[in-house]
Amino acid sequence: MNKTIQLQDLETKDYKETWEYQEELFKGIVDLKIRNRREELDLETPNYFLFVEHPHVYTLGKSGDLSNLLLSEKQLEAKGATFYKINRGGDITYHGPGQIVGYPIIDLENFFTDIHKYLRFLEEAIILTLEEYGIACGRSEGETGVWLGAGTPFARKICAMGVRASRWVTMHGFALNVNADLGYFDNIIPCGIRGKAVTSLNVELGVEKVNEEEVKEKILKHFSILFEAKFEKSVIKNH
């Protein structure tokens, strides 16, 4: 069982290009697992964790409802935003500058084979990170992601999640609003949930800007403890 995760920070990268790169890494792991089974081998499968910041983009999950996007094609263009239907779970969400997006592309057979536990651990890594900033947050029953004021009229989402898994290999992940322009969320019904607000770490702390690199370090710290994993920075080839 390989518990080392190769960390790559893609910095600012187009959503579609990043999605294609995820698919490439994902396929590499799945193909290796198929080969192991077919040829009765025991070759070690790699794990990856991508950090990225996307230019303004809206993405709709496979079970999502297009009517939750409140903009026309022309309006999207005017806002400098793009739109993609993608193969993760969940409904519609927004990605953009000031948001930390994390894509763990890992073979869960290296850790544990439980998708529910995987999602809870992703949420827990974010919850523990935000608690370091004095933010009281948690889960909202029946809704993935991380929330403030869950169960109250002031419930607001700070971190969205949507994953895909096949043969115990994961892709897609989480999007944590750190210094995000929340106005872009007004153009969608976030995650298809009406009447729930969205927030960002800088707003909750009442500051103009939070150090995003510091937030990333905290996420990795908690992720590595929860998954009993170690991170290694790896070279990004041709990307």
The proportion of the chain whose per-residue pLDDT surpasses 90, expressed as a percent, equals 74
Judge whether 61 is annotated as a binding position. Answer: no
Catalytic residue among 191, 198, 201, 215: 191
Q: Is residue 38 scored above 60 in pLDDT?
A: yes
Task: Kindly report the average pLDDT of the chain as a whole number.
Answer: 92
Residue 152 one-letter amino acid? T
pLDDT above 70 covers a percentage of the chain that reads: 95
| Long-range pairs, 116-123, Cβ under 8 A, ≥24 | 118/163, 118/165, 118/170, 119/144, 119/161, 119/163, 121/223, 121/226, 121/227, 122/161, 122/163, 122/173, 122/174, 123/159, 123/161
State pLDDT tens for residues 56-95. 999 888 878 888 888 888 998 898 999 998 878 777 889 9
Query: 142: number of CA atoms within 13 Å, CB side?
Result: 3
Residue 160 marked ligand-binding:
yes
pLDDT per position as a tens digit, 123-140:
999 999 999 999 999 999
In contact, 53 and 11? CB cutoff 8 Å: yes
- Sign of torsion, CA 83 89 94 97? negative
Mean pLDDT over 1-5 rounds to: 96
Q: How many Cβ atoms are within 10 Å of 171's Cβ, its own excluded?
A: 24
Q: What's the mean pLDDT in 33-50? A: 96
Residue 191 known to be catalytic: yes
The DSSP letter of residue 69 is: B
Q: What is the DSSP string of 123-184?
A: HHHHHHHHHTTT---EEETTEEEEEESTTSTT-EEEEEEEEEEETTEEEEEEEEESS--GGG
Q: What is the pLDDT of residue 200?
A: 97
Please give the helix or strand (H or E) that residue 230 lies within, else none: strand 230-233
14 assigned binding-site residue: no
1 with 110: CB under 8 angstroms?
Answer: yes
| CB neighbour class for 152 (10 Å; exposed up to 12, middle 13-18, buried from 19) | exposed
Q: 177 phi and psi, to 5 degrees?
A: -75, 115
Q: Give the pLDDT confidence score for residue 238 in this predicted structure.
A: 52
Q: Is 206 annotated as a binding residue?
A: no
Q: Is the pLDDT reported for residue 167 higher than 90? A: yes
Length of the chain as a residue count? 239
Q: Residue 94: how many CB atoms within 10 A of its CB?
A: 25
